Amino acid sequence: MIHRPLQMSDKTDGPDGDASILTKTRSKTQRPPLYKVFLLNDDYTPMEFVVHVLERFFGLNHAQAFEIMLTVHKKGLAVVGVFSFEVAETKVAQVMDFARRHQHPLQCTMEKE
């Protein structure tokens, strides 16, 4: 069997005489929603403990952790990070568990951004 190369004249022409072009629509992948994680102020949890929590669970350096702790103390709450649902849920659970084990009423919550 002999194969010959495909010629332009071998293509089917569209209604206006041009060769038809097939386009493939590519669906855009949506990013998953993000969640803000908050620490809430209370009158019993020591400031040093809050700084420790921020360093340990949110990877902040001491200066950053201290600033956020002061914001929590003065304003009643502060966003400590923005994460995917699973990561935010895990961080909230870790902070709450750690606070309970150390007998502190520290509250950590999350909400959709």
CATH code for position 81:
3.30.1390.10
Determine, yes or no, domain membership for 77.
yes
pLDDT value of position 19: 62
Determine, yes or no, domain membership for 3.
no
Is residue 15 scored above 60 in pLDDT? no
Provide the number of structural domains found in the chain.
1
Domain that includes residue 56, residue range = 46-112
Determine, yes or no, domain membership for 57.
yes
Amino acid at 82: V
User: Is the pLDDT higher at 6 or at 103?
Assistant: 103
As a whole number, mean pLDDT of residues 92-110 equals: 98
Q: Which two tokens stand for residue 16?
A: 């206006």
Angle, helices 47-58/85-101, rounded to nearest 10 degrees: 140
pLDDT tens string 62-87: 999 999 999 999 999 999 999 999 99
Determine, yes or no, domain membership for 92.
yes
pLDDT tens string 19-36: 666 677 777 888 899 999
Amino acid at 45: T
Is residue 42 scored above 90 in pLDDT? yes
Is residue 10 scored above 70 in pLDDT? no
Percent of the chain with pLDDT strictly greater than 90: 72
Share the mean pLDDT of the chain: 88
Determine, yes or no, domain membership for 30.
no
pLDDT value of position 57: 98
